[in-house]
Amino acid sequence: MASNAAVPFWRAAGMTYISYSNICANLVRNCLKEPYKTEALTREKVHFSISKWTDGKPQKPTIRSDTPEE
């Protein structure tokens, strides 16, 4: 990793480009004025359940809910 940009820092923190861009997007959403701000924030709700499988056995599913930035 080289260069002077901010790239290495979030990459070194174990983030992917997606989570980095999501945090940025959320910051932009928070900059909106009021009626639009709540609208934009309520629109982007996260909810799903994810379960990892190892050797044909399901692990315990974790539910991701309302955590817009991760």
Partner 1 sequence: MAMAALRREGRRFATPLISPRPIAAIRSPFLSEEDAPLGVRSISTQIVRNRMKSVKNIQKITKAMKMVAASKLRAIQVKAENSRGLWQPFTALLGDTPTVDAKKNVIVTISSDKGLCGGINSTAVKISKSLHKLNSGPDKENKYVILGEKAKAILVRDSKKDIELIITELQKNPLNYTQVSVLADDILKNVEFDALRIIYSKFHSVVSFLPTMATVLSPELVEREAESGGKLGELDSYEIEGGETKGEILQNLAEFQFSCVMFNAVLENACSEQGARMSAMDSSSRNAGEMLDRLTLTYNRTRQASITTELIEIISGASALEG
Residue 22 contacts residue 69 (beta carbons within 8 Å):
yes
Q: Which of residues 2-61 bind partner 1 (CB under 8 A)?
A: 2-5, 7, 11, 16-19, 21-22, 25-26, 43-53, 55-56, 58, 61
CB of 30 to partner 1, least distance (A): 13
The pair phi, psi for residue 39, each rounded to 5°, is -60, -45
Quick check: helix, strand or coil at residue 8?
Answer: helix
The pair phi, psi for residue 34, each rounded to 5°, is -55, -60
Which positions lie near partner 1, rule CB under 8 A? 1-5, 7, 11, 16-19, 21-22, 25-26, 43-53, 55-56, 58, 61, 63-64, 67-68, 70
